[in-house]
């Protein structure tokens, strides 16, 4: 649980998200130069009227205090005697007051606040003043972390920790003052060194000595060392070791005081002009007596510098050794100018942290001393137990290195490295080893059984077959169940793929040996089914489809040869259901429909024979649910609703008869939520009822499953999706305030799931879609700034997913949708250049998605809408010729769709009417409009109905009359 905010600061009363949203709108309007009327805002929100009037003054004060200092330009160079902040000289601005402080230039900002250079008036001293952004104050966690940072730093007194001078709050604005450090952060140093490395690479051979450079826009020397490229590299390495000692001794002091920093990285280590290192930014620190800022399972810190236990969200084992790891990663980067855990995306970095050893620094630069390399790698071992026991021990070893004494750190032997790997993956290694041994034994047993079968007695043969069945059960269990469990474990994907691959190889060998043996026909059919299951999990859909088809044919043959008509019916039905899922995924909706019809027919016949069989009823409900999704894709909404309703009836009867069956209740909740999607097309009130019923069931389940982490996570995710869906429904019904609350509830759950299960991609995708929906809700309320912020979140996540999984076009299509929505907000705000740029980006992404999957009608519809919006904006911008080109591109998507062609003809005619000054171009576009209108007629469009709904432009009507 999140603890209450510390009393170090007086927490403001912004516990109401609606109030925070209103005040955020007001602040955004002040910044845009078009302030909203406070009285009107209060009248629109009568419940919050008093709070709005009270806090409006705080918003105005914060706006006035920071106006004119936000965009201060950094200085190019800071001398040794300068008193400028580490991000540049202050801009000459008027006096801006916040309590006892007069604000100067903005010198830095991050997720936890904005830092200004300031003058403390009463003591006439320069300070750095950190201010919590007003928009963040509604978030308990952000406010608590801001307070936590002040509390943590204020209780630490060490010459290498930036001290806090004062903490305060004025009219709802939280801030604290700390010592002003004139210098640079180490991430700026690293960037400068990389710049020098690249600039001088053609003029030097090998690495030489270095300089720690402090710069923001240009490389410039820091007095700590001479140039990196003109002296002995040993001197540079010794300088890095001295920095490491300062940082480690400061961290040891913090740890002794019960404070774990949890975000040690180059940007949080400052180097002043006297060559002194300072640790700052304790916003994510964990304090021994106040650990509640972070929930269990949260992933806090900056990913690239996280320890494996921190990246895995295992907060219970995060201790001082986590900071030691992060400091080791920072020293590694200073020595090599390369990150210890490289990667272009989040997933790649997570894999590097959990699975890969960093490249030895001497491989990158042979000039790095052996002992220093060993110390840094010793601080960064994957296992906490193998790191330095304390930051003090690390500092002592760095001192031994500088003094030329033997260090305690030793290079690991091959046996050490093997033992460490096994210790890190003890459970996985033992399970995988057992599985691989079993697999080898099973393969041998199978071969012997098949070769010697002819020479055995009937009794021996029966015994051999029993052994074979037992061996196959072991393979089935480990190859399928174990792989499913691995999928929930971050960083285990390579092992999961290996297990599935080995299992698949075993099944294929079995198929090769058993194909010509009639006695093994049933096992052969089951093996093809397993191959289909594994191939689908490995992403090989074509192979999976082929295997399920073969399994169905074999089970059908067995059924025909069986004296009982019911035998093998379940296997056939399941094969058909899986074939329908696969054919639907590749866009063949009609074939998928045939498969579902056949599967449901078989399942109904099974249930007729055994009406009390709950498993058969649940399978039938699952097939009906799948069929409902298919009918929705096909656009047959009545059939989709019938399928979902039939599934709900089956599941409701199971849940009623067996109230302890949580899985049945869960399936019922999902079916209700799914039906609500279909009902949105025709009956929004019915959709709301279905969704609220699903919400009640899921909330009960989440409360019941807290002790089961796997089910709890999955069902929390389903609950978040339900909140998301309900938000969309409420927004359509005009209840936008309640809709926003539902979206916020969904986001709170999904953000924690993403932190706790960083390797589960679906959670990231779900979070992006909820941010997008929140953006749409804010846009409907004309809250432009909040809508754009929500779309920014969605776009960032989806762009990462597209980078991580470029071949999964669903993420690309979703990204296009967010870009389209951002464009619409800009269009409504009158920012046509931004709108056009975003529409163009949306079209580019959606075209790729459609080209990769041309049978997916949904992608075609999306792309068509993007072109329509783009053309409308071009006409508004006075660019009708380009608008006509966009309409023609849209026409290419619907060569035989009458209704689409009718609307495209109207768009072309509207563009032609704007081309009055260009008669030749106007005639050409008008000709295309008439040609498109004729195509719509030939395609069977109901012209009279369409004319009533959307009258033809006069130009087309006049042209038709002329032709008549």
pLDDT of residue 41: 80
Same domain assignment for residues 111 and 151: yes
Question: Is 680 among the domain residues?
Answer: yes
Give the total number of structural domains in the chain: 4
Judged against a pLDDT cut of 80, whether residue 523 lies above it is answered with: no
Residue 103 lies in a domain: yes
User: What is the average pLDDT value for the chain, to the nearest integer?
Assistant: 76
Whose structure tokens read 């920072």?
Answer: 330
Query: What letter would DSSP give residue 865?
Result: H
Looking at per-residue pLDDT, the higher value among 75 and 951 belongs to 951
Contact by Cβ (8 Å): 651, 668: yes
Higher-pLDDT residue of 729, 175: 729
| pTM of the predicted structure, to 2 decimals | 0.49
- The Cα–Cα gap between 927 and 39 comes to 55
Residue 243 lies in a domain: yes
DSSP assignment letter at 205 = S
Residue 176: the pLDDT is 83
φ and ψ at 264, to 5 degrees? -70, 125
Burial class (CB in 10 A: 0-12, 13-18, 19+), 484: exposed
CA 502 from centroid of its chain's CA atoms: 31
Ranges assigned E (strand) in 395-543: none
Residue 786 contacts residue 25 (beta carbons within 8 Å):
yes
pLDDT of residue 894: 94
Q: With contact defined as beta carbons under 8 Å apart, do 613 and 607 qualify? A: yes
Domain check: are 360 and 233 in the same one?
Answer: yes
278 with 385, same domain?
yes
pLDDT at 747: 94
Which CATH number belongs to the domain containing residue 634 in this structure?
1.25.40
- Asked if 174 and 188 sit in the same domain, the reply is no
CATH number of the domain residue 159 falls in: 3.30.200.20
Q: Report which of 526, 481, 514, 523 is spatially closest to residue 499, judged by C-alpha positions.
A: 481
Closest CA to 23 of 752, 952, 31: 31
Residue that is written with structure tokens 């899986």 in the block: 578
Please tell me the predicted confidence (pLDDT) of residue 89.
Answer: 36
Per-position DSSP letters for 87-124, written without gaps between them: T-PPP----EEETTEEEEEEEEEETTEEEEEEEETTTT
SS3 letters across 904-924: HHHHHHHHHHCCCCCHHHHHH
CA 673, 674, 679, 684 dihedral sign is positive
Q: Indicate if 909 and 960 belong to the same structural domain.
A: yes
Q: Which of 344, 307, 345, 315 is closest to 424 using CA atoms?
A: 307
- The CB-side HSE value for 652 (13 A sphere, CA atoms) comes to 10
Residues 191 and 113 in one domain: no
pLDDT band at 335 (very low <50, low <70, confident <90, very high): very high
Sign, CA torsion 594/596/599/604: negative
From the list 21, 263, 273, 502, the catalytic residue is 263
Statement to judge: residues 133 and 226 lie in one domain: no
- Are 173 and 320 contained in the same domain? no
Integer Rg of the chain from CA = 33
130 is annotated as contributing to ligand binding: yes
Token representation of residue 351? 């894999």
Give the N- to C-terminal CA distance of the chain in Å, as an integer. Answer: 77
- CA angle, residues 250, 251, 253, in degrees to nearest 5: 65
- Residue 263 annotated in active site: yes
CA 741: distance to chain centroid?
21
Say what the pLDDT of residue 7 is: 26
Confidence at residue 175, expressed as pLDDT on a 0 to 100 scale = 84
**H/E element, 790:** helix 784-804
CATH of the domain at 262: 1.10.510.10
Give the C-alpha separation, 151 to 676, whole Å.
48
Q: How far apart are CA 386 and CA 716, in angstroms?
A: 36
Tokens describing residue 536? 């689908």
Cα–Cα distance for residue pair 933/899, rounded to 1 Å:
10
From 136, 152, 179, give the residue that closes a domain: 179
Distance of CA 514 to the CA centre of its chain: 45
Residues 6+ away with beta carbon under 8 Å from 117: 85, 90, 103, 104, 105, 107, 126, 128, 129, 180
Same domain, 64 and 170: yes
HSE toward the beta carbon, residue 771, CA cutoff 13 A:
26
Amino acid 95: pLDDT: 46
Helix (H) or strand (E) holding 130: strand 125-131
SS3 472: helix
- Give the relative orientation of helices 898-913 and 880-893 as an angle to the nearest 10 degrees: 170
Q: What angle do CA 831, 833, 836 make, to 5 degrees?
A: 105
760 pLDDT band (50/70/90 cuts)? confident
Distance of alpha carbon 853 from alpha carbon 309, whole angstroms: 40
Instruction: Provide the sign of the torsion angle of the four alpha carbons 523, 526, 531, 537, taken in this order.
Output: negative
443 occurs within a structural domain: no
Distance CA 383, CA 363 (A): 23
Residue 865 has pLDDT above 80, yes or no: yes
Domain carrying residue 924:
888-964
Residue 135 predicted with pLDDT over 50: no
Q: What are the pLDDT digits (tens) for 925-950?
A: 999 999 999 999 999 989 888 888 88
Task: Report the share of the chain in percent with pLDDT over 90.
Answer: 30
| Residue 958 placed within a domain | yes
Q: How far apart are CA 173 and CA 169, in angstroms?
A: 5
% of the chain with per-residue pLDDT over 70: 70
What digits encode the pLDDT tens for the residues 425-477?
444 334 333 333 333 333 333 333 333 334 444 444 444 444 445 455 545 54
- How far apart CA 381 and CA 389 sit, in angstroms, is 12
pLDDT-derived band at 837 (thresholds 50, 70, 90) equals: very high
Question: Residue 335 falls within a domain, yes or no?
Answer: yes
Which tens digit of pLDDT belongs to each residue from 482-506? Answer: 555 545 444 444 555 555 566 666 6
Q: Are 94 and 137 contained in the same domain?
A: yes
Please report the pLDDT score of residue 834 as a whole number: 94
Higher pLDDT, 672 or 560: 672
**Whether pLDDT at 593 is above 80:** yes
Average pLDDT score over residue span 738-762: 86
CA distance 469 to 522: 11
Q: Which of 699, 730, 755 is the last residue of a domain?
A: 699
699, 723, 738 - which closes a domain: 699
Per-residue pLDDT band at 518 (split at 50, 70, 90): low
Co-location of 107 and 250 in the same domain = no
CA–CA gap between residue 610 and residue 566 (Å, rounded): 11
Residue bearing the bigger pLDDT, 147 or 188: 188
SS3 of 169, please?
strand
Residues 656 and 671 grouped into a single domain: yes
């Amino acid at each position: 649980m999140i603890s209450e905010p510390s009393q170090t600061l007086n927490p403001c009363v912004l516990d109401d998200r609606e109030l925070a949203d209103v005040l955020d709108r007001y602040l955004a309007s002040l910044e845009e130069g078009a302030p909203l009327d406070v009285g009107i805002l209060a009248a629109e929100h009568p419940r919050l009227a008093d709070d709005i009037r009270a806090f409006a003054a705080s918003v105005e004060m914060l706006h006035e205090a920071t106006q004119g200092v936000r965009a201060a330009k950094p200085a190019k160079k800071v001398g040794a005697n300068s008193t400028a902040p580490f991000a540049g000289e202050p801009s000459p601005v008027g006096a801006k007051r916040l309590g006892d402080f007069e604000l100067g230039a903005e010198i830095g900002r991050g997720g936890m606040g904005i830092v200004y250079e300031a003058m403390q008036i009463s003591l006439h001293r320069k300070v750095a003043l950190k201010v919590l952004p007003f928009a963040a104050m509604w978030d308990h966690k952000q406010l608590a972390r801001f307070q936590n940072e002040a509390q943590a730093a204020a209780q630490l007194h060490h010459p290498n920790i930036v001290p806090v001078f004062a903490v305060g709050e004025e009219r709802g604005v939280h801030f604290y003052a700390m010592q002003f450090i004139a210098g640079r952060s180490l991430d700026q140093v690293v960037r400068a060194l990389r710049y020098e490395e690249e600039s001088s690479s053609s003029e030097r051979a090998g690495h030489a000595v270095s300089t720690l450079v402090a710069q923001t826009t240009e490389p410039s020397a820091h007095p700590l060392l001479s140039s990196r490229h003109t002296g002995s590299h040993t001197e540079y390495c010794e300088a890095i070791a001295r920095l490491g000692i300062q940082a480690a001794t400061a961290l040891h002091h913090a740890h002794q005081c019960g404070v774990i920093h949890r975000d040690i990285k180059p940007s949080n280590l400052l180097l002043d002009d006297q060559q002194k290192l300072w640790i700052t930014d304790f916003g994510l620190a964990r304090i021994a007596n106040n650990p509640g800022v972070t929930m269990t399972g949260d992933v806090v810190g900056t990913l690239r510098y996280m320890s494996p236990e921190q990246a895995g969200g295992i907060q219970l084992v995060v201790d001082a050794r986590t900071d030691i790891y992060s400091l080791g990663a920072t020293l590694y980067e200073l020595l090599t100018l390369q990150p210890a855990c490289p990667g272009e995306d989040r997933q790649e970095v997570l894999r590097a942290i959990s699975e890969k050893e960093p490249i030895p620094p001497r491989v990158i630069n042979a000039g790095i001393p052996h002992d220093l390399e060993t110390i840094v790698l010793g601080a960064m071992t994957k296992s906490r137990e193998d790191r330095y026991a304390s930051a003090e021990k690390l500092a002592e070893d760095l001192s031994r290195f500088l003094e030329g004494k033997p260090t305690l750190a030793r290079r690991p032997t091959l046996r050490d490295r093997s033992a460490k790997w096994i210790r890190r993956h003890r459970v996985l290694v033992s399970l995988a080893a057992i599985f691989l041994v079993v697999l080898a034994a099973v393969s041998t047993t199978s071969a012997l059984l098949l070769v010697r079968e002819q020479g055995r007695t009937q009794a021996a043969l029966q015994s051999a077959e029993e052994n074979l069945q037992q061996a196959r059960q072991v393979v089935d269990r480990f190859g399928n169940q174990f792989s499913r469990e691995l999928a929930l474990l971050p960083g285990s994907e390579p092992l999961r793929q290996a297990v599935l691959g080995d299992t698949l190889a075993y099944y294929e060998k079995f198929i090769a040996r058993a194909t010509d043996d009639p006695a093994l026909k049933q096992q052969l059919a089951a093996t093809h089914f397993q191959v289909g299951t594994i191939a689908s999990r490995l992403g090989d859909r074509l192979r999976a489809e082929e295997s399920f088809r073969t399994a169905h044919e074999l089970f059908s043959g067995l059924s025909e040869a069986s004296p009982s008509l019911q035998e093998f019916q379940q296997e056939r039905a399941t094969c058909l259901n899986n074939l329908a899922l696969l054919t639907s995924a590749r866009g063949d909706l009609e074939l998928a429909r045939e498969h579902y019809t056949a599967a449901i027919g078989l399942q109904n016949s099974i249930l007729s024979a055994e009406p009390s069989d709950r498993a058969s009823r649940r399978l039938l409900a699952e097939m009906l649910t799948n069929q409902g999704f298919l009918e929705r894709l096909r656009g047959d909404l009545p059939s989709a609703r019938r399928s979902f309703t039939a599934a709900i009836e089956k599941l409701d009867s199971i849940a009623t008869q067996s109230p302890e069956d949580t899985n049945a209740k869960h399936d019922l909740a999902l079916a209700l939520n799914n039906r609500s999607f279909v009902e949105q097309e025709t009956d929004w009130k019915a959709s709301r009822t279905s969704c609220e019923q699903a919400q009640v069931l899921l909330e009960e389940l989440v409360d019941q499953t807290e002790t089961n982490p796997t089910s709890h996570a999955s069902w929390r995710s389903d609950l978040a999706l339900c909140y998301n869906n309900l938000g969309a429904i409420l927004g359509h019904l005009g209840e936008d305030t309640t809709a926003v609350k539902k979206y916020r509830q969904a986001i709170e759950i999904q953000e924690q799931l993403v932190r706790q299960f960083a390797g589960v991609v679906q959670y990231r995708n779900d979070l992006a879609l909820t941010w997008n929906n929140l953006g749409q809700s804010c846009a409907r309320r004309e809250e432009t700034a909040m809508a754009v912020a929500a779309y920014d979140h969605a776009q960032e996540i989806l762009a990462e997913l597209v980078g991580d999984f470029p071949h999964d076009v669903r993420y690309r299509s979703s990204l296009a949708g967010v870009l389209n929505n951002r464009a619409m907000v800009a269009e409504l705000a009158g920012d046509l250049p931004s709108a056009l740029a975003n529409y163009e980006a949306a079209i580019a992404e959606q075209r790729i998605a459609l080209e990769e999957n041309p049978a997916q009608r949904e992608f075609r519809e999306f792309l068509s809408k993007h072109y329509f919006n783009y053309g409308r904006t071009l006409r508004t911008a006075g660019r009708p010729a380009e608008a006509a080109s966009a309409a023609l591109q849209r026409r290419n998507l619907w060569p035989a769709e009458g209704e689409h062609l009718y609307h495209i003809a109207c768009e072309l005619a509207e563009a032609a009417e704007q081309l009055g000054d260009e008669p030749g171009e106007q005639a050409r576009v008008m000709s295309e409009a008439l040609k498109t209108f004729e195509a719509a007629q030939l395609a069977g469009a109901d012209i009279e109905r369409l004319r009533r709904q959307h009258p033809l432009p006069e130009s087309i009507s006049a042209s038709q009359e002329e032709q008549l």
